Amino acid sequence: MLYFPITKSWIVSRAARAVYLVCALLAFALFGALFAIVLAISFSEVRSLSPFPLAMGIARVVLLPGILGTAILTVAMWYFWFGFDKSPWIRKAFWFPPLYFLLPIGPALYYFFVYRRSDVISVLSAATDIQPA
């Protein structure tokens, strides 16, 4: 099994923050696209997009970046929640349900309300920012 030692400086580096911002925006886009697709299907009284290959292809192209961004952001925010978030237990308990149950949008909300405002970010990123090779 391949093991990647993830350091604290990787999670809070400038590059990671930029990647997480893009992933959070993609997560919101995924949420909006899913909502729009479900709404369009319900208004058109069609049961699925399978009889319409062009519409299904467009939906896949629209949804795939959001799915990848949400997956990356979910793993990163869980990793931050478990290892680096120094919040009191009640605040961490408050953020557990959105992270666990609201998959497309919960990690993005956690990113904007907890990760970006964390003291770990400001202290560690200033001291040990990863420089590109």
How confident is the model over 55-90, as pLDDT tens digits? 899 999 999 999 999 999 999 998 888 888 888 899
Q: How confident is the model at residue 133, as a pLDDT?
A: 46
Neighbours of 29 (CB within 10 A): 18
Reported pTM: 0.81
Task: Please check whether residue 66 lies inside any domain of the structure.
Answer: yes
Task: Please check whether residue 6 lies inside any domain of the structure.
Answer: no
Task: Please check whether residue 92 lies inside any domain of the structure.
Answer: yes
Domain enclosing residue 52, as ranges: 11-118
Q: What is the spatial distance between Cα 62 and Cα 25, in angstroms, rounded to a whole number?
A: 13
Q: What is the spatial distance between Cα 46 and Cα 48, in angstroms, rounded to a whole number?
A: 6
When divided into structural domains, the chain yields a total of: 1
Q: How confident is the model at residue 109, as a pLDDT?
A: 94
